């Protein structure tokens, strides 16, 4: 069995159906967001390498939220990918395809979810033995209609649409059988209570589908 088959990210994401995108400027902020997600019943988070504290936040999250599936997002090269994995990331997400990150993840048997929009990018992902991709930024590149159009040509590929997804359009995306989960930041902003409330709403919706 190929490594890419054995560690299919789809199997991990299908369990949660949601990938909360977490962009924070401090460990304290991360504690609020991750606490809110857990209070709302969602034990998964993508910590984005978009702020200087990302690596520190990853280490903090892995240590202090051991029941959560913690991954790294906005990883754009091999160097960040190695740092993220060393900090304990259990999956890696990129806004586009980083071949370096793909190869490192393959070697280390870590699921890699690269962002794609076009057929050419999906073909590239297939050539790297990647079974699931992030369709990003979903709402800006045709939304569900755009995703269905491009997905039709790739029966072997599954998707995690991200970008502009919220409580109102979530059900429509998740109802498409090629979608294993939806990513987004809509539930990761506000106070811990607000985050918990938005998360609970999203989780309840996924459970009702
Ligand atoms: C991402 O990087 O995945 C996006 O910033 C998430 O998009 P959203 O903020 O529109 O949910």
Catalytic (active site) residue 46: yes
38 CB-near residues (< 8 Å, 6+ apart): 65, 67, 68
Taking the centre of ligand 1 as the mean of its atom positions, its distance from the CA of residue 124, in whole angstroms, is 22
C-alpha dist (Å) from residue 93 to 20, 160, 197? 12, 10, 26
Q: Which of 88, 78, 75, 23 has its CA nearest to residue 53?
A: 23
Q: For Cα atoms 205, 150, 157, give the angle at the middle one, nearest 5 degrees.
A: 70
Angstrom CA distances, 204 to 30, 52, 186, 197, stand at 23, 34, 15, 11
pLDDT attached to residue 13: 87
Query: Is the CB of 76 inside a 6 Å radius of any atom of ligand 1?
Result: no
Residue 12 confidence (pLDDT): 78
Q: What is the pTM of this model?
A: 0.95
In this predicted structure, what is the pLDDT of residue 11?
A: 76
Q: Decide whether any atom of ligand 1 lies within 6 Å of the 169 Cβ.
A: no
Please state, in angstroms and rounded to a whole number, the distance separating the CA atoms of residues 46 and 20: 6
Eight-class DSSP state of 23: -
Is the CB of 113 within 6 Å of ligand 1?
A: no
CB-facing half-sphere around the CA of 44: CA atoms within 13 A: 21
Q: Ligand 1 centre and the CA of 189: distance in Å?
A: 12
**Distance of CA 129 from the midpoint of ligand 1 (Å):** 25
| pLDDT score recorded for residue 10 | 67
Reading the chain (209 residues) residue by residue, the pLDDT tens digits are 344 444 566 677 888 999 999 999 999 999 999 999 999 999 999 999 999 999 999 999 999 999 999 999 999 999 999 999 999 999 999 999 999 999 999 999 999 999 999 999 999 999 999 999 999 999 999 999 999 999 999 999 999 999 999 999 999 999 999 999 999 999 999 999 999 999 999 999 999 99
For residue 9, what pLDDT is reported?
67
């Amino acid at each position: 069995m190929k490594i890419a088959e054995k560690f299919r990210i789809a199997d991990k994401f299908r369990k949660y159906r949601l990938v909360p995108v977490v962009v924070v400027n401090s460990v304290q902020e991360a504690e609020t967001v991750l606490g809110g997600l857990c209070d709302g019943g969602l034990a998964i988070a993508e910590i984005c390498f978009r702020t200087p504290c990302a690596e520190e936040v990853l280490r903090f999250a892995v240590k202090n939220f051991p029941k959560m599936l913690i991954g790294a997002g906005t990883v754009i090269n091999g160097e960040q990918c190695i740092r993220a994995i060393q900090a304990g990331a259990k999956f890696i997400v990129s806004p586009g395809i980083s071949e370096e990150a793909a190869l490192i993840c393959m070697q280390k048997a870590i699921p890699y979810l690269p962002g794609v929009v076009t057929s050419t990018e999906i073909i590239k992902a297939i050539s790297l033995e990647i079974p699931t991709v992030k369709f990003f930024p979903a709402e800006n590149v045709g939304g569900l209609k755009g995703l269905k159009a491009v997905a039709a040509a790739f029966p072997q590929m599954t998707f995690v649409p991200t970008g502009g997804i919220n409580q109102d359009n979530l059900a429509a995306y998740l109802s498409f059988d090629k979608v294993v989960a939806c990513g987004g930041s809509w539930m990761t902003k506000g106070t811990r209570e607000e985050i918990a409330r938005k998360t609970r709403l999203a989780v309840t919706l996924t459970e009702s589908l």
